[in-house]
Structure 1
């Protein structure tokens, strides 16, 4: 667990600098068009599909071999290559891409054609994951030359209407996501550093901290690197959450001398990485953890 906690520096930058558009409950709702894919891609690659393989260990996930690769766009430049193996991401939306990849007809529709893949670049193992596919024609959507910049800011705690259990709906104004909170919450943005990050932070009546954090992908993405490292460890507690590959973590908060327990859920989506966490004093851990299901499952994407 020790290697997971450097990322809490990001959370506690926001912590110490201490409410719709159509939302989706599943990560495949994040990308609904080629333009959405272009806005969230770490890379865009054109290639001639030479083979499509399904592994017995994960038959729903396609492994696609391409030749004559052409990198159309890359956030973080990599060495030149001619051929590559691209892997379908868990957040691949078959209904939104031009070509289905999960059905039996996938191989016949992909092999021998030149296709354009939009995807995520993992920092530790797992290769490149694509979440959108289209034919090379029509032309690729425009990709912003300069990504939107954000300034560090924090709203004062927001006390929105509460339900009978004391919960309220919280929305990240800059991050584009919403979640239920067990009390008043703060909406924070970290624009400085490697990549912009956005946090909703609240507390329950036991004083336990509930955090939902999203960090954009790209060079210097500490949450992306932490997720990749944790997910590919042999003993990782991996799962699927809202359609995405996810990893569950648990440990004591650094410098708390074991007095505070941190329960985390980390997962990648097109465009970045999420962390949902509950931090509780030992004596209140069980009571606050009883709210985990509502807190985690209430997350929606815009």
Structure 2
């Protein structure tokens, strides 16, 4: 199973400045309630809101200053702190408290709120994707995460459409995507964090992969994404509402014979990678399918 996920170590390089169209289910749909947030949070912090601001460099993202911080839950412990600056994630859910407007955001000041979020591994601090008042009882958080075993299904040949595509679903990962041919459904339970992969091939022999890795200590994909996203030359965009990085490179040890095209993005609970790997002579033909492949991804 180790080699199945070695693609996640590919180097990031500049690709294109063209933003991908945002169609289909948005990542904010992943969290609809406090329980959803608790199931996916790396941390939960209560704090007195001192200030809410929007930076000129990133006006769509809230920066919330809190005092009297109390860590209710943390997947990976960090040093104790009293005050903090929490930043709203791109996948922030407004299902509990709308904060998009300036007037709505200002209503948080002076109140004690509970924030649920993601801990970035490089340069980004803490991002919250859900917030609520502290008055309701805190949802239950599983102290022991669900464990998975390594497994790989035989290639699945589901019904195809006239163009040779089929719908693939990760049984353990909880996501689906269109594949241009038969596919395998794989789970990696060993290692730092559980990861789930759908892998198929098109008629040119190019590999199409959709991988989701759970967040937490030892998350290699999360660390790779965080490091790449904050590089000065990173090709960043938004994909289905999430912060994303577009990559292009060559497969290690292929001597430039295999071209890789990747899309990496973080959502509440983990990190996704969508990738196409093609022989150089078939790169253009397989890349023509990128839009359908990427945009077909849906979350459960």
Q: Which deviations, in whole Å up to 9, do the C-alpha atoms of 1:5-41 show, x marking residues without a partner?
A: 9663699999999999999711001001000000000
298 and 266 in structure 1: CA distance in 2 versus 1, 3 angstrom threshold: same
Equivalent residue of 1:67, what SS?
strand
- Partners of 1:20 and 1:281 in 2: how far apart? 24
TM-score by length of 1: 0.92
Q: CA deviation at 1:58?
A: 1.3
Q: Which deviations, in whole Å up to 9, do the C-alpha atoms of 1:207-244 show, x marking residues without a partner?
A: 00000000000000000000000000000000000000
Equivalent residue of 1:29, what SS?
helix
Q: CA deviation at 1:107?
A: 3.4
TM-score by length of 2: 0.93
- Partners of 1:290 and 1:59 in 2: how far apart? 34
Tell me which moved more, 18-27 or 275-284.
18-27
Equivalent residue of 2:14, what SS?
helix
- Partners of 2:128 and 2:104 in 1: how far apart? 15
**Equivalent residue number for residue 80 of structure 2:** 80
Q: CA deviation at 1:72?
A: 0.3
Tell me which moved more, 99-108 or 168-177.
99-108
- Partners of 2:67 and 2:279 in 1: how far apart? 54
Q: Which deviations, in whole Å up to 9, do the C-alpha atoms of 1:87-134 show, x marking residues without a partner?
A: 000000xx6443222112233310000000000000001110000000
For residue 206 of structure 2, the aligned residue among 190, 205, 208 is 208
264 and 33 in structure 1: CA distance in 2 versus 1, 3 angstrom threshold: same
- Partners of 2:279 and 2:134 in 1: how far apart? 54
Q: Which deviations, in whole Å up to 9, do the C-alpha atoms of 1:38-81 show, x marking residues without a partner?
A: 00000000000000010111111000000000000000000000
Q: CA deviation at 1:296?
A: 0.0
Q: Which runs of 5+ in 2 are unaligned?
A: none
Equivalent residue of 1:6, what SS?
helix
194 and 116 in structure 1: CA distance in 2 versus 1, 3 angstrom threshold: same
Asked if structure 2 preserves the Cα contact closer than 8 Å seen for 1:98 and 1:135, the reply is no
Asked if structure 2 preserves the Cα contact closer than 8 Å seen for 1:231 and 1:247, the reply is yes
Q: CA RMSD in A?
A: 5.8
Asked if structure 2 preserves the Cα contact closer than 8 Å seen for 1:208 and 1:278, the reply is yes
- Partners of 2:56 and 2:20 in 1: how far apart? 41
223 and 97 in structure 1: CA distance in 2 versus 1, 3 angstrom threshold: same
- Partners of 1:278 and 1:205 in 2: how far apart? 13
- Partners of 2:40 and 2:299 in 1: how far apart? 13
Q: Does 1:44 align with 2:34?
A: no
Q: Which deviations, in whole Å up to 9, do the C-alpha atoms of 1:163-221 show, x marking residues without a partner?
A: 00000000000000000000000000000000000000000000000000000000000
163 and 136 in structure 1: CA distance in 2 versus 1, 3 angstrom threshold: same
213 and 17 in structure 1: CA distance in 2 versus 1, 3 angstrom threshold: farther
Q: CA deviation at 1:137?
A: 1.0
Asked if structure 1 preserves the Cα contact closer than 8 Å seen for 2:180 and 2:201, the reply is yes
- Partners of 2:154 and 2:58 in 1: how far apart? 45
Equivalent residue of 2:10, what SS?
helix
207 and 26 in structure 1: CA distance in 2 versus 1, 3 angstrom threshold: same
18 and 119 in structure 1: CA distance in 2 versus 1, 3 angstrom threshold: closer
7 and 83 in structure 1: CA distance in 2 versus 1, 3 angstrom threshold: farther
- Partners of 2:272 and 2:168 in 1: how far apart? 16
Asked if structure 2 preserves the Cα contact closer than 8 Å seen for 1:116 and 1:134, the reply is yes
Asked if structure 1 preserves the Cα contact closer than 8 Å seen for 2:11 and 2:249, the reply is no
